[in-house]
Structure 1
Amino acid sequence: MSAAFPIEILQRECPRPESDPRYDDSETRTITLPKGYKKQPEYAAFKTDTIFEKDIKIPLRDGTIIRADIFRPVRATEKLPILMAWSPYGKSGRGVFTFDHVPGRAGVARSKLSDYEKFEALDPADWVARGYAVANIDSRGAYDSEGNIVCWCSQEGRDGYDVIEELAKYDWCNGRIAMMGNSWLAIAQWFIAAERPPHLACIAPFEGASDVYREIVARGGVPTTVFMSFLRNVVVGRGTQEDINGMIKKYPSMNSYWEDKRAKVDRIDVPVYAAASYSTGLHTFGSFRGFEEASTEKKWLRIHSTQEWHDLYLETTNDELQKFFDRYLKDVDNGWENTPKVRASLYRYNKEPLVNIPFSNWPIPETRYEQFYLNANGGLQKLPPPESEQGIISYQSDVPFMQMDSDPGEVAFSYTFDKPVYILGSARVKLFMACPDHNDMDVWVQLRKADSSGKLLRQITIPAEDTGIKDDELELQNCMQYLGPSGALRASYRALDPHLSTTQFPEHNYYEKRLIERNTVVELDIGLWQTGMAFERDEKLVLKVSGHPMSLAELPMSRGTENLENRGVHQIHLGGNAPSYVAIPFVPLHA
């Protein structure tokens, strides 16, 4: 059993650092990288003379020693703030997973980066010249950092607290530390900032989940091991890592272990500049929750229209990040506070997206929800069907599927708009369902956009000029093409959690299962993750329902690997005393 939890925390061996072909050694040393230095001819050059302190040792409160690389200018006229990047993915050009494993490198050309950046973090070759020190941290257990790797929890928060306070002691540091980065680097920010380290001045979480159970490993209470099966092979170290897949198999319901992996974002009291997108299958909901619930009044949200890695390395993104960091790490009076609190994007699918639309807050205060009822003809209508038009639509829930757009066992309901409309926020679906063949159901829902002829559309998230891949040759992969927002629910977890549910999104009680009786109709309240979609007249909104995920797979190797527990037929009851519907968030917009 763990000292922190009354249950055994399962562990698995990490791949060793030597398995990373880019691993060199663990020697602590200082190197000077002159202005114009390139690791290889195809990489970006350093823009100023830079001190590179490799594998310095930083103590944690329990005596564990972890490793960091620090980059700072050779010549600095004043004390420097530090930008800290935190993850187990390796530091300064290390890492098993690289952009070379992604089609078109996600639009991030080698010439944009120095290969000294930590994966998913800002590049020191650029940021040292902007007047910052960059600290790339190998978190507990990663590579040559001592201990065992922990995943997204309060322990990681405490570790980050300790490192921030140690970094602030350097005589060349001005005592202000910020955090930045994508994915794990953003998730860690929620946990670390919630610990309130005194020298943390601000954070920039650019797309990070904030609740591991509800957003990554058991969305809607449906356990999944696909993503963690990939991730466990790209984090390396000399000890063990938490066996998240083993834990979700052994403990599929909520408990204290999983609750510890929900960041206490309401404790965050430093300025926050958060980025979000609709196109990630991991981080969308957590990015919005982190922004909404952070207690600080100084918070901003930018919902971009591309993909997280592509966005992070755009020059415009880095210039705006500098404005934010300059304000809160250097006290530069640059008007940052005039930045709109929320800037949103909306996908048009067959046209360029609408971007940087300003709003006063999130959720959008002007949001108007409208209900569309499912009917037995496969349509959506604004009035509930009367008893005389009651019906049942069924689908086979246990068919093989590949997540390559429109698998078998999916039913669809559509509505044609008679004027331009704009959807922005979280839709919510209420379904009355039964299963004659099993005592539980795993149900997925998805919203799609179709053109006037009924053809389902996909949104390409990274411009072809950046990937070098023609649109019709793009991999059917979620990071490259977005279909629409989705939601999921295991019927036995249908009871709502009144403390976490909001008007926009239902959260469920995952502590207790209530199996269903066969052929008994139950009411399922399913929230869909946030989206932004623009429709022209005669274009169609499509609601799809299925017994499997309908988003494109995150990685090609994960297609068809999901092991689900559905059996037999699922029935959707429509009309009369079973008014199944979808509630859509519309916003006024003059685009």
Structure 2
Amino acid sequence: MSQFEIATKPIDKPSEGVNGYAGFHPGKTTLLEKGSTREGWDGERTKALESDILLEHDVPLIMRDGATLYTDIYRPADATGPIPCLVMWSPYGKRYSSINMLPVTTWRCGIRSEDISGWEKFEGLDPARWCPRGYAIASVDIRGSGNSDGKVQIMGAKMGEDGYDVIEELAKKDWCNGNLGLAGNSFLAISQWHIAAQQPPSLKAIAPWEGCGDLFREQFVRGGIFEISNMDLINKLIIKGNEGTEDFAEMYDREPLHSPYWADKRADMKKIKIPAYISGSDFSSIHTMGSIRGFWDCQGPKWIRWSGRQEWHDLYVIPETNEELMDFFDHYLAGKENGFVKNTPKVRWALLQGGDRDAIENIAIEDFPLPNTDYREFFLANDGKLSTSSPAEPSSVSYLSRGEGKGVVSFDIRFEEATQLVGIPKAIVYMSTEDHDDMNVYITLKKLDKDGNTLMHMTVPRVRALAPSHADIAEKDRTSLLLHPGSLGVLRASHRHIDTEKNVHPNWPWHPHTFEEKLKPGEVVRLEIGIWAMGWQYDAGEGLRVEIGGGHDMNHEIRHFTMKFPAEHTLNKGNHVVHFGGEYQSKVILPFVSI
């Protein structure tokens, strides 16, 4: 029994014709014929199937508590013996595909109808690619979604147990060789940490692409600041079920500090002993540090590939990413000696360039962070500069933290020679306010061109982009799916306490978030703020800006779906003052490398 009561909210019930739902048909089998296509966007057709595929509808799987979950299973029609199975795990609906989701995104993330079959579960592997390779794909309606029993619970040990039971039930099927894997993006990646930590015997390998590892620290209450993230969009448009879904806004109202409820949302990755093929990027607003911690903590054979492309584009458009993933699963699930282990670098990184330049990708490096990283300190100084030494005399600058006229303060440095920054940066800033008993502080590291203009990274490669540079994108289309302004650090001042014994890296402080230390008017406090990983290349004459403010400047792709904002007392108020020089040695620590 759960040690905490989980709040739920109503969601729409499954309805035929909505999100690909085609009714409830246990026992039905359909032959999807080679060469067949589906309706895509704007009158286009989807990718044609390369071979015949058997689709088993709504296969029931019984959980340890008696609940029934349902899955669709896609299998190659010409299979002559047992085959491995890859499980796609999310509440998004067994038939909810990219065809349903991508029209609400800018440029559909550069994905065309011809790139997908429309049979893929959104963010999951496409049966059109994988069944011809000799795999079954199980698209599961997790507990509470679709016609599966119960209420939708997002991550945690209970969901992990369901994943364990589903994997072991599928392993018993006569068409299965007993070797199962997990794969997919975002929710389908996060869930892999929780399921694999339960150690189901038949789970032989995982491939989490962009997977948050801690819903409190990395998604909903990052730095102690609540944001509903993309859950209102997901609940409104995507998840359908009969009994409701977990309500994170209500749970935050009940438990605004870290608690057993939130601890259950952090997977224990050190319990994962099987092979893991991990993908991540600098520019996910949720998943960056979870992907890195997964690489650090997983105990089995592991690889990490850092991408310069938006995660869905990477999965559905780029042939090489699927081929390499197939080699990984072929080795660990099908037993093929294909050279994957010997030939695949353990760590590959990407360097972002910004502007009209794509990322430089697939750079093999020794480890992450690089063992020979040169961490250099740059101090906030007068005239908006960064300096290698702190000013002798104290000074300060301020910004309006919220509302009309909201501003930022910034500090710049120009690099005289070509420079690469790869690793985990950190900021230490001394700040105060006369206007409130708390501050929500956001620090962004931005790239500058030779003329001092900011450069963003466009996550869709130029060959599929509908604008030549980020500067040509309309303001309404500047979403966090498409553009990356730079790595971000976030902290609520009352959550500034650090448990140094739990720091996983010198530049990544562990804030327990279990109590608050409110501010007195004018009190200057030291804020140590971990900034999410970065990988940027700078030409001689280009520069970096440290921008400090009361928020971040990107439009989330889901902002207009947000239904419940945090309470007024959790928001910023009035001016924030940044102190530097003298006794206030405010600074940023940057990771210099040569790769």
TM-score over 0.5 for the alignment?
yes
Alignment of 1:568-583 (within 5 A): 568-583=574-589
Please report how far the alpha carbon of residue 344 of structure 1 lies from its aligned counterpart in structure 2 after TM superposition.
0.3
Change (3 A) 1:398 1:103: closer
Q: Report the RMSD for the aligned CA atoms in angstroms.
A: 1.8
Given that 2:69 and 2:148 are in contact with CA atoms closer than 8 Å, whether structure 1 keeps it comes out as yes
State the partner residue of 1:33: 32
Q: Measure, in 2, the Cα distance between the counterparts of 1:96 and 1:325.
A: 26
State the partner residue of 2:496: 494
Q: Measure, in 2, the Cα distance between the counterparts of 1:346 and 1:551.
A: 21
Query: Is residue 243 from structure 1 mapped to residue 243 from structure 2 by the alignment?
Result: no
State the partner residue of 2:5: 8
Match among 5, 18, 43 for residue 46 of structure 2: 43
State the partner residue of 1:58: 61
| Cα deviation 1:498-542 (Å, max 9, x = unaligned) | 343121311202011111211111100001111111111111110
Change (3 A) 1:392 1:468: closer
Alignment of 1:129-528 (within 5 A): 129-233=132-236, 234-296=238-300, 298-313=301-316, 314-338=318-342, 339-350=344-355, 351-386=357-392, 389-400=393-404, 408-469=406-467, 471=469, 472-473=472-473, 475-501=477-503, 502-528=505-531
| Cα deviation 1:309-352 (Å, max 9, x = unaligned) | 00011211111111101110111111111311110001111333
Q: Measure, in 2, the Cα distance between the counterparts of 1:224 and 1:170.
A: 42
Q: Which runs of 5+ in 1 are unaligned?
A: 401-406
Given that 2:228 and 2:562 are in contact with CA atoms closer than 8 Å, whether structure 1 keeps it comes out as no
Q: Measure, in 1, the Cα distance between the counterparts of 2:592 and 2:562.
A: 33
| Cα deviation 1:216-248 (Å, max 9, x = unaligned) | 100000111242222221211001111111111
Given that 1:226 and 1:562 are in contact with CA atoms closer than 8 Å, whether structure 2 keeps it comes out as no
Question: What amino acid is the match of 1:460?
Answer: M
Q: Measure, in 2, the Cα distance between the counterparts of 1:507 and 1:495.
A: 8
State the partner residue of 1:403: none
Please report how far the alpha carbon of residue 481 of structure 1 lies from its aligned counterpart in structure 2 after TM superposition.
1.0
Given that 1:49 and 1:74 are in contact with CA atoms closer than 8 Å, whether structure 2 keeps it comes out as yes
Question: What amino acid is the match of 1:172?
Answer: W
Q: Measure, in 2, the Cα distance between the counterparts of 1:264 and 1:51.
A: 37
State the partner residue of 2:558: 555
Q: Measure, in 1, the Cα distance between the counterparts of 2:34 and 2:212.
A: 37
| Cα deviation 1:354-401 (Å, max 9, x = unaligned) | 111111222221211100000132110011111xx320111111225x
Change (3 A) 1:558 1:543: farther
Shifted more, 95-104 versus 236-245: the winner is: 95-104
Give TM-score, length-normalised by structure 1: 0.95
Please report how far the alpha carbon of residue 166 of structure 1 lies from its aligned counterpart in structure 2 after TM superposition.
0.3
Query: Is residue 113 from structure 1 mapped to residue 116 from structure 2 by the alignment?
Result: yes
Given that 1:271 and 1:299 are in contact with CA atoms closer than 8 Å, whether structure 2 keeps it comes out as yes
Please report how far the alpha carbon of residue 468 of structure 1 lies from its aligned counterpart in structure 2 after TM superposition.
4.1
Q: Measure, in 2, the Cα distance between the counterparts of 1:86 and 1:226.
A: 20
Shifted more, 570-579 versus 361-370: the winner is: 361-370
Please report how far the alpha carbon of residue 104 of structure 1 lies from its aligned counterpart in structure 2 after TM superposition.
1.8
Q: Measure, in 1, the Cα distance between the counterparts of 2:117 and 2:413.
A: 49
Match among 544, 552, 562 for residue 541 of structure 1: 544
Q: Measure, in 2, the Cα distance between the counterparts of 1:562 and 1:509.
A: 24
Matched residue count: 577
| Cα deviation 1:533-573 (Å, max 9, x = unaligned) | 11111111100000112344233526999655111111111
Question: What amino acid is the match of 1:35?
Answer: K
Identity %: 36
Question: What amino acid is the match of 1:438?
Answer: H
Question: What amino acid is the match of 2:176?
Answer: C
Q: Which runs of 5+ in 2 are unaligned?
A: none
Q: Measure, in 1, the Cα distance between the counterparts of 2:78 and 2:198.
A: 33
Change (3 A) 1:376 1:242: same
Please report how far the alpha carbon of residue 92 of structure 1 lies from its aligned counterpart in structure 2 after TM superposition.
3.1
Change (3 A) 1:94 1:310: closer
